[in-house]
Amino acid sequence: METRAEIRLPTEDLSKDLPFFTKVLKMRLDMIYPADSPEIAVFSGHGLRIRIEKGALEDPGTIRILTDDPDEFAGGDRVLVAPNGTRIEIDELNPPLILPETRHAFVVRRLADQAPWVIGRAGMEYRDLVPTRLGGAMIASHIRVPDGPVPDMVHFHKVGFQLIFCVRGWVDVLYEDQGDVRRLTAGDCFIQPPEIRHRVMHAADSIEVIEIGVPAEHVTEIDHEMTLPTPVDRPDREWQGQKFVHNLAKDSAFEPFRIPGFEVRDTSISDNTRGVASVMVARATGEVSPWTRHDCDILFNFVLAGEMTLEGEGKDAYRLSAGDAFVIPPNMATRYTGGTTDLELLEVSLPGRFKTEVLSSSGR
């Protein structure tokens, strides 16, 4: 059974619309009638089928044409108006990714404050961990995935950086050129390079992940053509200079952290993103931590387990526990105190390499 769909637009004088849609917009005339005094014409092109009909009751509407050379498509015009009143916008097919300048802020988001969970893509529940989005520079989400099969499709994200860190449970995901299903379990993480195709398959009961995206507002596109898994395994492939990373917590060793009083396991993400970002898991060693300050653009932390007190110069102290998140702006002195023996922190930094200054234990 063949099926077609078309958009209907009004006209008062079809003879004026014919050359505009065929010559200016470079669309194909597929149908016109009646022959002696045409009142209806059907055009197709650019993935669109349009029926222009004299006396139609619809508004003229807007057509957006996306092309890899918008300055050449219609003689350099980016906005046109057809004789029938339809507005035409000419835009880029693949616009460059814009990374907004970071609006630095000290942010604390506590689970006990009961920030709302909202339903997002594929039925997943999202809790916003950085409401200000730092001026659009990044988004951090605490995500709960529905139990069992996930109604997901093969898709990709137009991002500069994206992390998926599993806090609880497990989730199965298929990735382009990365073999069969990858299972992410608690403590593990994925780096999803820009535009890598993937599909969430199944999730365990009570699965929870942290997702970091840069910039905050980015496009998700569905790929209707690709089938996963792909036939060839290409573990060293790069997408815009970044490799896919599947870091397993069980394979990672701990070493001294940038902040005394903690040790850390590195997820290798800084190396595999060429320094775009770093992702580490730090745990308390029982020693007293001093005041420190850093020069990192974005420094995000999520409390994975245990409790601690976050002190910041000129700020009230915050007692934090599992599920809480915070952002420390550059050049602000802070100290982590009162940590329990089971304290674990997820630290995400952009860029991946930055300097930390250890200050005196008494203050700044």
Q: Are residues 291 and 217 in the same domain?
A: no
Are residues 271 and 208 part of one domain? Answer: no
Domain membership of residue 244 (yes or no) is yes
Report if residue 98 sits inside a domain.
no
Q: Is 131 a domain residue?
A: yes
Residue 223 lies in a domain: yes
Whether the predicted pLDDT of 75 surpasses 80: yes
297 falls within a domain: yes
**10 preceded by a cis bond (ω within 30 of 0):** no
CA within 13 Å, CB half, 184? 29
Between the alpha carbon of residue 252 and those of residues 63, 267, 268, 281, the distances in Å are: 52, 7, 10, 10
Please answer whether residues 114 and 142 qualify as being in contact, where contact means their C-beta atoms are separated by less than 8 angstroms: no
- In terms of domains, do 164 and 62 share one? no
Burial of 154 (0-12, 13-18, 19+ CB in 10 A): middle
Residues 325 and 281 in one domain: yes
Has residue 122 got a pLDDT over 70? no
Q: What is the mean pLDDT of residues 56-65?
A: 95
Q: Name, in order, each residue with C-beta under 8 angstroms of 36's C-beta and a sequence gap of 6 or more.
A: none
| 104 lies in some domain | no
CA distance 211 to 141: 5
pLDDT at site 126: 87
Indicate whether 224 and 150 sit together in one domain: yes
Q: What's the CA dihedral at 31, 32, 34, 40 to 10 degrees? A: 110
- Residue 106 in any domain: the answer is no
At 203-225, the pLDDT tens digits run 888 889 999 999 999 999 999 99
Structural domain total, the chain: 3
pLDDT of residue 332 exceeding 80, the answer is yes
Locus of tokens 């395994």: 233
Q: Average pLDDT for residues 231-245, to the nearest whole number?
A: 96
Mean pLDDT calculated for residue range 90-110 = 93
- What per-residue confidence (pLDDT) applies to 165? 97
Reported as a single tens digit per residue, the pLDDT across 258-286 is 999 999 999 999 999 999 999 999 999 98
pLDDT attached to residue 46: 95
Q: What is the pLDDT of residues 160-202, one digit of tens each?
A: 999 999 999 999 999 999 999 999 999 999 999 999 999 999 9
Whether the full predicted model's pTM is greater than 0.85, yes or no, is yes
Euclidean distance between CA atoms 117 and 98, whole angstroms:
28
The reply to whether 346 and 298 lie within a common domain is: yes
Our CA angle for 121, 123, 125, nearest 5°, is 85
pLDDT of residue 252: 86
Give the pLDDT confidence score for residue 362 in this predicted structure: 52
| 117 & 238 share domain | yes
Alpha carbon separation from 48 to 8, 42, 45, 74, 263 (Å, rounded): 11, 11, 5, 17, 57
Q: In which domain, by residue range, is 265 found?
A: 251-358
pLDDT computed for residue 123 by the predictor:
67
Is 162 found in the same domain as 88? no
Domain shared by 211 and 228, yes or no: yes
Choose one of 35, 61, 92: the last residue of a domain. 92
My answer on whether 69 and 159 are in the same domain is no
Is the pLDDT at 117 greater than 90? The verdict is no
Tell me which of 252 and 278 has the higher pLDDT: 278
Average pLDDT over residues 227-255: 94
Last residue of a domain, one of 214, 233, 249: 249
pLDDT band (50, 70, 90) for residue 146 = low
CA distance 207 to 204: 6
The predicted pLDDT at position 121 comes to 65
Mean pLDDT of the chain: 93
Same domain, 239 and 269: no
293, part of any domain:
yes
Nearest Cα neighbor of 329 from 156, 108, 60, 5 is 108
> Which CATH number goes with the domain that contains 198?
2.60.120.10
Same domain, 266 and 343: yes
CATH number at residue 71: 3.10.180.10
